[in-house]
Amino acid sequence: MIGIIDYNAGNIRSVERALASLGVDYRISKSPRELETADRLVFPGVGEAKFAMGELRATGFDSFIRDRVAAGIPLLGICLGTQIILSHSEESDTPCLGLVPGVVRRFPKDFPSRGLKVPHMGWNSLDLRNGGSALLDGVPVGSDFYFVHSYYIDPEDPGVVTATTPYGIDVPCGLKFGPIEAFQFHPEKSGAAGLRILSNFARGKNAAGGAKC
Helix (H, G, I), strand (E, B) or coil at 1: coil
Report d(CA 72, CA 74) in Å as an integer: 6
Report d(CA 108, CA 59) in Å as an integer: 33
Beta carbons of 23 and 199 less than 8 angstroms apart: no
Report d(CA 129, CA 126) in Å as an integer: 9
Q: How many CB atoms lie within 10 A of CB 190?
A: 22
Q: What's the N-to-C CA distance of the chain in angstroms?
A: 27
Q: Looking at the annotation, which residues are catalytic?
A: 79, 186, 188
